[in-house]
Amino acid sequence: SCNYQPVWNKPDSYRVFKWNADGGSYVEQQCAESCYFNLATCDCAYKPWTPQNDTVPVCQPSYTIGLSQVGFGGPDVRASLENDDSFADYGGPLVIEFRYREAEEIVSRQALLSSTECQRAGFLLVTVDRESVLVELTTEGGVLTSFTLPTVGFKPDQYKTFRLVDNNDFIMATITDGRDGYTTRVAAPASPYLQCGLDIGRARFVNDFRGFIDNFVLYQCIPTNVLA
């Protein structure tokens, strides 16, 4: 487990417990220049991205995958992003967006997206049931943040667009069917979960998604037309 604590809204800082005559307290420390506190590895890590990534005026997708002909739910169907050197040490801002629709009524929670598991990264899991989309972000120290987006009013056979925005201070998720939508925004310190890649439509210990996912886009930056 990690003996350090992140500092909300300050990704380049962390808190460490120091003993004193009164018993002790947490004291804020700052990482070296060009470093950020990586909760997954419990130390300061070098920023593998440039400062311009945070506000770059023209932000191009790192990946665009058209999966419109792929139906998920079969035993041999898998879509993954992995073994990419640009992911290995990346802990910067990112945007993930895709749309999905169910092929049948959801009885129990199914996986829309998950981190490819490895020991040196946090773990992102996005699942869906009949009433909501659940976003969970965990590290080896436990759950970092967890929240839901309702899907009330959305039809199973219609495409819903899901977007996750992580700017290292906040995580914001939105879901819309093109007419109505829901948004949730929570504070969360930098916690890289992309290092080993992403699995689309599946995750360990959760049922695979049975339906269709397409228009998958991944940005390793925050586009200017996306609210962060």
Domains of the chain: 4-46 (no CATH), 52-219 (2.60.120.200)
Mean pLDDT per block of 10 residues along the chain (228 residues) reads 71 81 83 76 65 51 56 47 60 85 90 81 88 87 81 91 87 89 81 77 88 85 66
State the Cα–Cα distance between residues 143 and 156, nearest whole angstrom.
Answer: 29
pTM of the model: 0.69
Confidence (pLDDT) at 150: 92
Per-residue tokens: 42: 């419990």
Adjacency order of strands within the sheet including 4-6:
4-6, 13-18, 25-30
Confidence (pLDDT) at 221: 78
State the Cα–Cα distance between residues 135 and 121, nearest whole angstrom.
Answer: 17
Per-residue tokens: 178: 């093109």
Q: What are phi and psi of 55, to 5 degrees?
A: -135, 20
Q: Are 121 and 196 in contact (CB under 8 A)?
A: yes
Q: Are 62 and 86 in contact (CB under 8 A)?
A: yes
Q: Parallel, antiparallel, or unpaired for β 110-115 and 207-208?
A: parallel
Confidence (pLDDT) at 70: 46
Q: Are 110 and 103 in contact (CB under 8 A)?
A: no
Confidence (pLDDT) at 220: 80
Beta bridge partner(s), residue 213: 100
Beta bridge partner(s), residue 132: 150
Confidence (pLDDT) at 64: 66
Q: What are phi and psi of 170, to 5 degrees?
A: -135, 150
Confidence (pLDDT) at 83: 54
